[in-house]
Amino acid sequence: MNLRIVHSVRVPAGIICRVVSMLILSKTAGIFSRSPKSNVYGFLRRFSVCHGTLCPHKLVLGIETSCDDTAAAVVDEAGHVLGEAIHSQTEVHLKTGGIVPPVAQQLHRENIQRIVEETLSASSISPCDLSAIATTIKPGLALSLGVGLSFSLQLVNQFKKPFIPIHHMEAHALTIRLTNKVEFPFLVLLISGGHCLLALVRGVSDFLLLGKSLDIAPGDMLDKVARRLSLIKHPECSTMSGGKAIEHLAKQGNRFHFTINPPMQNAKNCDFSFTGLQHVIDKLIKHKEKEEGVEKGQILSSAADIAAVVQHTTACHLAKRTHRAILFCKQKNLLSPANAVLVVSGGVASNLYIRRALEIVANATQCTFLCPPPRLCTDNGIMIAWNGIERLRAGLGILHDVKDIRYEPKCPLGVDISKEVSDAAIKVPQLKIQLDS
Ligand code: KG4
Ligand code: ZN
């Protein structure tokens, strides 16, 4: 498309479209009342020069509501983030001692329209300018997924846009391709509040699952330990997620005050377990409460030491399983021999201590270690929009008919080859994880 055609066709179409969208989304009037200057810049940002002419960028709106964050973003095919907005429910759920699904659903309902409006407004675009709408439909909390899906389908139907259903964990895994130049295949460790997975990423929707948590996820365990330690009452941690509070407090603690063995030391596979560790920490807290003469619900003077040891033990467990996964991939020639890449993502990957432990593993196995910045590790709309762009470019899973689309609270990631990993029974050499908190 050349510049002339762009001007004669797209501009009037865009203006008409804006008027239509103002009528349809009456509550979104604010989006379209931006200054002419910012509209010009917004308009120009939607084009790139290709072969000497201006071509419109593909733009995807991503919507995320799988858990407790209502998030949206517009990303273009070059990976530029045009705008984003997020509403976190962390503070509310901290007060109720965990996520209460109907409360999460209600908060998503209250915020989704505003978040999408703010995103479009920050991007200086109208829904008509979008190439597609991408939304997390699996896995996640049923009530939360439902809000994002029904809102998205309304937009899809009103603006006649293609719909791209997104797998939340695939989106976490591919975020790194937005921030870094990473080719397939690469190994990914996904650690969050709901998941713990090791997978080989061979393509946009081509994953081999090497191992996963047999019980709870590391983020869930850290959240439970933080609650048991009543960190919400700690003046420095009262608004932090459990995992973040543990990381913050661990910096002031001494992990050498306790010795705790990492879980599953004799299982030569890439699976994980965190329930046992949680129980050991529970018992330790009970013991310390007795010793310090502190009531349950009060803050222990040894809370920082406990945070340090739980963080260290978690890091060692994650490091050992990841080390085995790298050795397995190398043995089976699944990673590029010239440039093997380990990616770590998900909310728990924003923990810098855990990152450094995994970096030690990557260095010892001659892998390049990559992590998205912390704010792209926790849930966000950018990763969903980017996954939409990846799918659009690959021509995968773009729907023009959304009649049969349903959300799926449970959904595996990729093809499970964990039995093959377990059968290989790879012994992992000892690695010293010596880090300052
Ligand atoms: O990926 P995410 O935002 O949501 C899920 O898909 O689960 O991850 C949230 C989890 C929570 O369990 C939270 O405690 C944990 O990530 N988390 C952390 C840190 N920041 C968030 N865990 C350890 N250290 C952190 N700095
Ligand atoms: Zn997540």
Q: Does the Cβ of 313 fall within 6 Å of ligand 1? A: no
Q: pLDDT at position 42, please?
A: 60
pLDDT of 46 over the 90 cut: no
Q: Does the Cβ of 119 fall within 6 Å of ligand 1? A: no
Chain segment 351-384, per-residue pLDDT in tens: 999 999 999 999 999 999 999 999 999 999 999 9
Element (H, E) at 113: helix 101-123
Q: Does the Cβ of 108 fall within 6 Å of ligand 1? A: no
- Nearest-CA residue for ligand 1 atom 23 is 243
A 10 A CB-CB count for 158 gives 13
Q: pLDDT at position 36, please?
A: 35
Chain segment 111-138, per-residue pLDDT in tens: 999 999 999 999 999 999 999 999 999 9
Average pLDDT, the chain: 90
Q: pLDDT at position 57, please?
A: 83
Q: What angle do CA 45, 124, 159 make, to 5 degrees?
A: 105
Q: Does the Cβ of 144 fall within 6 Å of ligand 1? A: no
- Given the CA of residue 218, which atom of ligand 1 is nearest to it? 12
Q: pLDDT at position 40, please?
A: 61
- Given the CA of residue 222, which atom of ligand 1 is nearest to it? 14
- Given the CA of residue 241, which atom of ligand 1 is nearest to it? 14
Distance CA 333, CA 314 (A): 28
Q: Does the Cβ of 67 fall within 6 Å of ligand 1? A: yes
Q: pLDDT at position 39, please?
A: 57
Chain segment 410-434, per-residue pLDDT in tens: 999 999 999 999 999 999 999 988 8
Q: pLDDT at position 433, please?
A: 85
* Substitution site in 66, 348, 437 for ligand 1 pocket (most atoms within 8 Å of beta carbon): 348
335 neighbors 182 (Cβ within 8 angstroms): no
Q: pLDDT at position 208, please?
A: 98
CA dihedral of residues 98, 263, 377, 244 (deg, nearest 10): 50
Residue 324 phi, psi (nearest 5):
-65, -40
Q: pLDDT at position 436, please?
A: 79
**Token pair of 115, please?**
């978040």
Q: Does the Cβ of 185 fall within 6 Å of ligand 1? A: no
Q: pLDDT at position 31, please?
A: 28
The closest ligand to the CA of 141 turns out to be 1
Please tell me the least confidently modeled range out of 140-144, 162-166, 270-274, 294-298.
294-298
Q: pLDDT at position 48, please?
A: 65
pLDDT of 24 over the 50 cut: no
Q: Does the Cβ of 162 fall within 6 Å of ligand 1? A: no
Q: pLDDT at position 197, please?
A: 98
| Mean pLDDT, residues 98-104 | 95
More confident: 9 or 72:
72
How would you classify residue 346: left for phi > 0, otherwise alpha for psi between -120 and 50, otherwise beta?
left
The closest ligand to the CA of 172 turns out to be 2
Q: Does the Cβ of 140 fall within 6 Å of ligand 1? A: no
More confident: 57 or 124:
124
pLDDT of 43 over the 60 cut: yes
The closest ligand to the CA of 94 turns out to be 1
Residue 202 phi, psi (nearest 5):
-100, -15
Q: Does the Cβ of 130 fall within 6 Å of ligand 1? A: no
**Token pair of 182, please?**
């990473």
Chain segment 132-180, per-residue pLDDT in tens: 999 999 999 999 999 999 999 999 999 999 999 999 999 999 999 999 9
The closest ligand to the CA of 346 turns out to be 1
DSSP assignment of 325-343, as one string? HHHHHHHTT-S-SS--EEE
| Mean pLDDT, residues 2-21 | 37
State the pTM of this model.
0.89
Q: Does the Cβ of 219 fall within 6 Å of ligand 1? A: yes
